[in-house]
Amino acid sequence: MTIADLFPRLALVAYSAYFKSTDGHMHIWDFNIRRNNLHLIPIIAQHHGCILVDSTRKGKRIPDALSKTVPIWCCTINRAVQRIKGYHWDTDFHSLPSAVSRSEHAQIEAKMESLVDKLMNSGIDVYAVADQLKKPLRPIWFTPQSCDMIVPDFDDCSFWPVVCLSASEAVENGYQVRPGYLYVQGSGDDQEAWCLGLTPSLFWENHQFILESKGECERRVREIVKDSLEKMNSQATGSFAFIKPTTIAISDLASAQSNWQQFDVIINCSEKNLELNSDTYLHLPIPEGKRGKDSSVGIALSILVNYFDLDGQLQKENKPRVDKKVIQHQLVRIISSWEKASPSRTTLKKVNVYFMSHSNTTD
């Protein structure tokens, strides 16, 4: 029986949240404004909890992202909502004793108020979060070694559970030969290094075709991924998200053109040039995928910083004064409007350096 079967009413969140393990590392505990994962709040509110799935490497049962980063996230949000609403509810920092020492637990708890201050001053609409959260969040942990005979009932609890499920079975030496395959603990955590673009859904749709020939496995995977991308592009509906309250929209699919006619200006951040003869079309040949998505966010961020104030209003003449706080505020605006936004530190650093060195003289 799976954890999802044990808690059928909880939303299963897989591959749609990103809690960085480094935000839970010793002495650098943090609430990540750039990857705030607040798009999970409506899901949690609707289902009264959720299940987060992650994997971990040799020598560990639970990854730092689940044992520390998620608990920090829960506690920070609980305390922020308590400040706004004045609720008399649980604001303690909860951790797993087998994964977090009492000394580290105390050090993290001592830092929590500063993390709440950081969230409250970030530009994120914490009031919208507070309106949705009717119970505090509480992390609960499960591993493949957990006993499924004793199942807690969360229906009448004073909190909404954030179930942290480690999918990795801890094995000696980090790997184990099993009938028909080699199990490597935590390999799912670095799937980008070996999956060749294959997604879980694509694998299960084509697993017989992929696995029936060992010698052709890699070629077949590349073929499946290529066909999937071509099909996705040909059937694209031109979905996009507006960066509220502006009229700037952003998308991760440049080849979806069906809605382009409703925009006054198009910046195409993909390798494919559509060769539109227009003064309102700019082609920036950037590789699609992660780098393309990252760069499109950087470009949108630069436009917001240079031409819009902190209320999202266009400033045609009096350009807003730019500092790191302004850049962060506009980044939060993008992330809040488009949950896929995932700019790298390198991209953000380039944006910061550019505006800091140009003294607001750009146009």
User: If 0-12 CB within 10 Å is exposed, 13-18 middle and 19+ buried, where does residue 32 land?
Assistant: middle
Question: What's residue 310's pLDDT?
Answer: 86
Please name the residue that has the structure tokens 């490497």.
57
Measured CA to CA, the distance from residue 135 to residue 280 in angstroms comes to 49
Query: Phi and psi of 54, rounded to 5°?
Result: -150, 170
Q: Walk along the chain (363 residues) and give the pLDDT tens digit of each residue.
A: 567 778 888 887 656 788 988 999 999 999 999 889 999 999 999 999 999 988 877 667 888 999 999 999 999 999 999 999 999 999 999 999 999 999 999 999 999 999 999 999 988 999 999 999 999 999 999 888 776 656 677 888 899 999 998 887 777 777 777 887 777 777 766 677 778 888 877 888 898 999 888 788 889 999 999 888 777 655 544 567 889 889 898 886 654 566 677 788 888 887 777 766 678 888 888 765 554 467 888 999 999 999 998 888 888 777 767 888 899 999 999 988 887 787 888 889 999 999 888 755 544
CA within 13 Å, CB half, 198 = 23
Question: What separation in angstroms does the CA of 324 have from each of 114, 120, 122, 328, 353?
Answer: 19, 16, 11, 6, 10
Question: What's residue 363's pLDDT?
Answer: 47
Contact assessment for residue 243 and residue 337, using Cβ atoms and an 8 Å cutoff:
yes
DSSP 187-238: GGGGGGGTSTT--HHHHHHHHHHHHT-STTHHHHHHHHHHHHHHHHHHT---
Domain layout of the chain by residue ranges: 3-171, 174-234, 241-358
Question: What separation in angstroms does the CA of 228 have from each of 113, 255, 290?
Answer: 47, 14, 17
Return the H-helix or E-strand segment holding 178: strand 175-178
Measured CA to CA, the distance from residue 354 to residue 347 in angstroms comes to 11
End-to-end CA distance of the chain: 60
Pairing relation of β-strands 181-184 and 175-178? antiparallel
Helix intervals (H) in the chain: 3-6, 40-47, 64, 70-85, 102-120, 126-132, 200-211, 217-234, 290-307, 324-337, 345-358
Question: What's residue 77's pLDDT?
Answer: 98
